[in-house]
Structure 1
Amino acid sequence: MKKFNVTIVGGGSTWTPGLLKGLCARQDTFPIDKLVMIDVDEERQATIGEFAKILFKEEYPDVNFSYTTDKSEAFREDVDFVFCQMRTGGYAMREKDEKIPLSLGVIGQETCGPGGFAYGMRSIRDMVQLVEDVRAVAPNAWILNYTNPAAIVADALSRLYPEDKRILNICDQPENLLRSYGRLLDMSPRDFDPVYFGLNHFGWFTHLYDKEGHDLLPKLREMILEGGFRPADYEQRDKSWLETYAMVEQMVRDFPDYLPNTYLQYYLYPDKVLKKLNPEFTRANEVMAGREKRVFEECNRIIENGTAKDSHVVHNDAHGEFIIIVAESIAYNKGDNFVVILKNDGIVENLPNDAMVEVAASLTANGPRPYAVGEIPTFYKGLIEGQFAYEKLTSEAYIEGSYTKALQALTLNRTVVSALKAREVLDALIEANKGYWPELN
């Protein structure tokens, strides 16, 4: 069986240990020859990297592992897959993304609304540089991208690299939802055949078939309405995520046609969500005090003890496993069905062809083969068209350096609406993002 060379971009991420554990767990189905991690933050990555050395020594000794801050070491002509999970500006900028909008009376969230706009404008720059770096030495490598906000990043990359068919933008939230449905139904998420449409963080499951072809969505709908909804790994989730999943019951009660992506709460109930958000302690603060603290403390404990055999925090989660099984399907031409982000081109008949839609597709060695969705109802079409216009204008604002398009984008966003408020928020974000964004004129 062929062994693959993989580069992980964002080696210092709190999600990286789960990804590394996932590679160990799937070494028989996705064998690795050489694994390189790269990050701009040398100190963060060193902690994860030293943990990885111990983990691989015990669980995967055949891997040729290294970590670096040098692009020439990370991106070489023999790389097969680049797993990308960058966070431009780190948690310091994420905190600003969340707190600046809240200080001005609108939702502050990592990927949605003005926070997502700010993050997207930063991410585009670094993702473009990544593509250039990889393609300079490895024109045939697959770039599997987790970098958020995936919708804006995917739109920009599609416009800038329209002929590059080996960039695949993915998100683990549909996978998290499938795992949560699986826990409710006592089933494996791999036993589901999902039908899904929308944009990233802005979509719906319309059907969820089992292996016999039975649609389980009606049963799930009733279970959610009667007993609420929790993530599959709710024992390990922070409080804000439990509240986010709990909102699914409200969305299903109000709009019972389909099962929604959890992020839709920010767009369907911005007034209600805004009241719950604490402008002094946002999700960024919760992560820094929670998951980040736990992961780095555990990695340091493992390094000190010299063994990862008793690790209880660093686990194989949906984020870590999903990108690997996507790579497996491509590497071995398996044609497995996943929800991924693709250029529409008629997949959803009554949406623009250039929209980067999130839909189910069979993943092969020659790329994704999406399943047609057909026409979608007016309510969902209207929501998606407005959100897509915001995402497209954000990409264009970055590419063209256009203040006007940036203002138009934020005015369209359902978490903002007011042009006066959009200008106030935009000006504050421009000031906070000097050095990250292009100059807007």
Structure 2
Amino acid sequence: MKKFSVCIAGGGSTFTPGIVLMLLDNLDKFPIRTIKFYDNDGERQKVIADACEIMLKEQAPDIDFVASTDPEIAFTDIDFVMAHIRVGKYAMREKDEKIPLKYGVVGQETCGPGGIAYGMRSIGGVLELIEFMEKYSPNAWMLNYSNPAAIVAEACRLLKPDSKVINICDMPIGIEERMAQGLGLKSRKDMVVRYFGLNHFGWWTDIRDKDGNDLMPRLKEHVAKYGYGPSPEMLEAAGESQHDDESWKHTFGVVKEFYPLSPDMLPNTYLKYYFMADEVAAHTDPSYTRANMVMDGREKHVFGECQKIVEKGNSEGTTLEIDEHASYIVDLARAIAHNTNERMLLIVENKGAIANFEPTAMVEVPCILGSNGAEPITQGEIPRFQKGLMEQQVAVEKLVAEAWSEKSYTKLWQAITLSKTVPSAKVAKQILDDLIEANKDFWPELG
């Protein structure tokens, strides 16, 4: 079986060790000859890379490993780029969250003004990675899960329409895992789903098992009572995961509050930021947001564990874990490499997949994935309620990509004004002006 060469772009990410462990755990399905790390922050990457190199030598010494800040070294002779960059790191995420909260507006990394700010930073970073890949490994594919995925995907469509990029998000995967657990299934792969929407903005319309049995009635009954949180019977058996801290418990549980808005479908958790924007903003501590939780929790833990591995020279006793949510990345790579035509939820240009929706919108729908890329599965027409919400949100995403491309202050102001999380054009302008000041080292200069 062919062995593949992989570049992880974002080598200094806290998610990188979990992805490496996941790749090591799947070598029988996806054999690897080379793993390369790329990051523009060599000092941050070195801590993660040195630990990962030790784990690779312990578990798969035949895999070549390289970590570099030089794009030519990192992107040459690559089959797949797995991209998960965070331009501005967690320090800028903190500003994305705290600036809108000053004005009573949702502060969140992918939704509302914070997501727009992050998108304006991410677009240039992701486009640069695509250019490196196309220059040094023109036959490679990029599996891009850099956030905010919706805005990044729209920028790729607008500015790199012929690039071999698959845009993906693991949030629906995590929700589907919880659904499967609640149903007593071994895996979410035992379910066949129909789903439509935008990234972090969608709905499941049909879920069946492999025998065609309708699973929606049981799932709806559970969601009406518990959201995507565990039932009392499930609590004892539930394992820990990256999404099991208090803020995630609330996000999964609160779905029951807005599920009745459209009770024939099951909503994505992130819709809480649009349906409950005032409540979310009011109950968020503006001095200690999710970014602070991550910096004090996940970031300290991962870097601390990596430093211990380097100091000891081995990974014995490490608490670093396989990133289970990232296992779909192997499925994606295998589908492309081996033309498996697997059914997967991806972010693709609509082109009629949702019949009564904007053809150029980047929608999230089930697709068949093979060596030629993604083939969307038609979801038919969608109801007016969802269509109206999605039209507003897709306009936001398109305006952000156009604002970046055209360096347009007006279009970015329009984008923030149009976000369902923002109460007025005046507040949108105040937030925008603060964000411009905070992002002067990252955004294009707007005119």
Q: TM-score, normalised by structure 1?
A: 0.97
Contact 1:15 1:319 in 2 (8 A): no
Structure 1 position 230, deviation (Å): 2.6
Match among 177, 182, 189 for residue 179 of structure 1: 177
Distance change in 2, residues 1:393/1:86 (3 Å): same
Match among 282, 303, 308 for residue 301 of structure 1: 308
Structure 1 position 234, deviation (Å): 4.7
Residue 121, structure 1, aligned to residue 127, structure 2:
no
Post-superposition Cα deviations, 1:258-301, rounded to whole Å, max 9, x if no partner, equal: 11111110001101111111100000000001111111122222
Contact 2:123 2:152 in 1 (8 A): yes
Contact 1:18 1:319 in 2 (8 A): no
Post-superposition Cα deviations, 1:202-251, rounded to whole Å, max 9, x if no partner, equal: 01111111100112122111022234423875554322111111111212
SS of the equivalent of 1:290 reads helix
Contact 1:21 1:315 in 2 (8 A): yes
Counterpart of 1:51 in structure 2 is 51
In 2, Cα distance between the equivalents of 1:437 and 1:368?
31
Letter of the 2:175 counterpart: L
Counterpart of 1:207 in structure 2 is 206
Q: What do you get for the CA RMSD once the two structures are aligned? A: 1.3
In 2, Cα distance between the equivalents of 1:330 and 1:124?
24
Alignment of 1:131-170 (within 5 A): 131-164=130-163, 166-170=164-168
Residue 405, structure 1, aligned to residue 411, structure 2:
yes
Post-superposition Cα deviations, 1:124-157, rounded to whole Å, max 9, x if no partner, equal: 1111111111111222210110111000000011
In 1, Cα distance between the equivalents of 2:379 and 2:280?
31
In 2, Cα distance between the equivalents of 1:230 and 1:296?
30
In 2, Cα distance between the equivalents of 1:318 and 1:412?
36
In 1, Cα distance between the equivalents of 2:110 and 2:226?
28
Counterpart of 2:392 in structure 1 is 386
Contact 2:22 2:324 in 1 (8 A): no
Counterpart of 2:71 in structure 1 is 71
Which deviates the most, 300-309 or 352-361? 300-309
Letter of the 1:138 counterpart: S
SS of the equivalent of 1:320 reads helix
Which deviates the most, 223-232 or 97-106? 223-232
Task: Name stretches of at least 5 consecutive residues in structure 1 with no aligned partner.
Answer: none
Structure 1 position 257, deviation (Å): 1.8
Contact 1:6 1:34 in 2 (8 A): yes
Letter of the 2:353 counterpart: I
SS of the equivalent of 2:254 reads helix
Distance change in 2, residues 1:421/1:179 (3 Å): same
Structure 1 position 302, deviation (Å): 2.1
Counterpart of 2:289 in structure 1 is 282
In 2, Cα distance between the equivalents of 1:225 and 1:358?
24
Distance change in 2, residues 1:319/1:70 (3 Å): farther
In 1, Cα distance between the equivalents of 2:115 and 2:202?
16
Contact 2:16 2:48 in 1 (8 A): yes
Post-superposition Cα deviations, 1:108-133, rounded to whole Å, max 9, x if no partner, equal: 10010000000000101111111111
Sequence identity (%): 50
In the TM superposition, structure 1's runs of 4+ consecutive aligned residues that sit over 3 Å from their partners are 231-236
Alignment of 1:68-107 (within 5 A): 68-76=68-76, 78-107=77-106
Task: Name stretches of at least 5 consecutive residues in structure 2 with no aligned partner.
Answer: 231-237
Contact 1:19 1:316 in 2 (8 A): yes
In 1, Cα distance between the equivalents of 2:292 and 2:136?
39
